[in-house]
Structure 1
Amino acid sequence: MDASTTEKMEKEILPFLNRSARPDVKSIALEYFLGMTGSEDGRKFIASGNGYLGAIVSLTTDSQQGIAKSAYFSLVNLMTEEDTAWYVLNMKEYPNLCLSLLQYVVKPDSDHADIVASILSNMTRSQRCAVKVAEVVSACTDNDQCVSLEKIIQTFCKLEHNPKANLHYVATILMNLTQVPTVRHKMMDKQRLLLQRLLPFTEFSDSKIRRAGIIGVLKNCCFETDFHEWLLGDHVDILPRLLLPLAGPEEFDDDDMEKLPDDLQYLPPDKQRESDPDIRKMLIEAITQLCATRAGRKHIKDKNTYVIMRELHKWEKDKGCDIAISKLIDVLIADEPPEGMDNLKEMQIPDKLKVMLDEEYAKTQAEIEDSIKQEMETENVIATEKS
């Protein structure tokens, strides 16, 4: 839009995005802007305008539920733009917006908790925004107003917490927050038992989003080499949780079977592998991360991970997963490096190879985010049709 059209809209339409405006004209104006958020150009126009973002945020607390819902849906789309998410997180007129959104999600009677969880999920996709939200969560003190990591997980794990919401997107909020090392360390606090509460959701059949988010949390936690012994030990026993979704109905001879973790022995003939390739890839990459240390590799080899990967390799059709499997198998069958090179993460990697690995990781993350975004857009369309 040219400058004159922009100025005209700010004068003629922006006043209707106001809580004091008549409900009918307010609703029409908001629906117009909601439609604009469906395109990149529309989102950029709103973000560059003088007051649109603040007006939309203000309408999330409108007394008319339909208007509040449309405002929330607008923010879901707007938060897919990193710069816009960063701007909204730092708006001076709404300094407590992040905390308010978190409080809304964990309240057991919130009407639009799923939409707000989607806002926070999109908002925390980038590292800097995740750090900003993590600071709010980490600053929590023991009072009814704070939203700690414990409270988020408690809300997520209680499936009937809110009869009006499924809260699947809380999983992707947790995945995004565990980009931040301080959150990972809290997640793996040996006294709090937080990570252990999330483990059952690696095979949550009712929601791909919930599975993907929690497996993303586990993968992020596996980047912390100092915690590998604890993750693989009896307190967490993470390896069976990562392997089971990758296992099929194949039968093994007695010797191979006995070496497998108990949960992977004598699986039923109708056992199905994880259907989503992005999730399978995250599982494989998490196991690969756990192979960074000599002790981790020994544990993973001793648990006969190779035979599960071998059969998965025969079955796999996705190219990205196939590459990830091959890399893991290479680690499992390779000779151990010389003494003093126990931690593969501490080995010097040529700059050219490091750039290639970084590019591949960024591509993988983008594919996962696009897959989740498509799932989110589908659910939002369905929700809009039902409303």
Structure 2
Amino acid sequence: MSSPAVVPRPTASAIDERPLTRVQLWTIVLCGIVIILDGFDTQCMGFLVPVISENLNIPLAAFGPVLSAALVGLMIAAMASGPIADRWGRRWVVIVSVFIFALFALLTARATTLNELLLYRFLTGLGLGGAMPNAVALTSEYTPRRLQPIVVGAIFVGMPAGALIASQAASVMIPLWGWRSVFVLGGVLPLVVAIALVKFLPESVEWKTHKSRTGVPVKHLFTEGRALGTLLLWVPFFMNLLVLYFILSWLPALLRQSGMPISAGVQAVAMFSVGGIIGTLTEGRVMTAIGARTVLVVEFVLCAVLIVMLANRASSLTPMLFATLVLGICVQGAQAGLNALAAMFYPTDVRATGIGWALGVGRIGSIVGPSLGGVLLSLRWTPKEILIAGIAPAACAALAIAVASRLPQRANAFR
């Protein structure tokens, strides 16, 4: 395929007025590949921990900080990279971020101690956290506004798809070449993609038009009538990723405590991931048809209902699998919708900052969720009680979206 460098690039106004061009499609595909790599690397550590623990003779309980390290790096980089991209451009922030997580994924493959794993996973997280919000911003700015919910939502199928690829790769590669080979693959692939990004990824036309803004980009999230909208947007980002990572981290263990076999937990996570793929693929079209507010509020209310169903049917396989499938559609579909909503809510000159900070706040939720499960277990809560506690964040997210949709400034993004 020809480089965009030799193909006329659409102007900012032409993007909204004309059908998608080859440059736009190529940009969207490249950004989607970046998100697939993010999903691969973010989830692969969870599959590998038992094998690494045995191979390096490190107690399983010691891996908690290692699992959190990448999430902390993601949070920091998501918040820091947005302002950088809004001042200096999206293209090179995406490219450098992909190079960073490629490098440290390869170094993780050489780790021999717990401290090395901790350091390399944190630094990998910095790369991952810088790549995603700017890939989202670039995608939204090369997509006609009428298609933004569909396209921005759809590229997030890369997260569950990347996790699915990681699980399949791990199951094949570990018996043949050991756990280190998975990290080698997780480093070589983004390295190849980063080289392709240097050649083919264009800079945002919208950003070039609006890059004259001076000052600290973060403060502009709270000016021009955006302050309350920003805070209300952060609430569902935090709450939804809290629920998402709580389910991924604790559902198998809670099902086991409820008397289900270990295989049921594996099936539940698989159904949750399948639901995530369905949800992310369909979210944008549904949002375009009936509005962001209606879709997101219904999804969060359904999350609460499904959590209650899951808590009461945790020992019955078929109802439990159905509940986790639909829960995956709602939770991961809602996350794709929130990402599209953030891209539509913020203007070009603070879009990467807005998306980055929203994802950064969400990453705090992704750290709190798994930790909260451990705390509640230590307090001797039953699996049913722990699952029912998930109603609260879902309800808070629904309420925040409902309130935000009534704001006068840029409220059309929430409707």
Work out whether the TM-score is over 0.5.
Answer: no
Indicate the structure (1 or 2) with the bigger Cα radius of gyration: 1
Higher relative contact order (CA 8 A, sep 6+): 2
TM-score by length of 1: 0.29
TM-score normalised according to structure 2 size: 0.27
Q: Which has the higher helix share?
A: 2
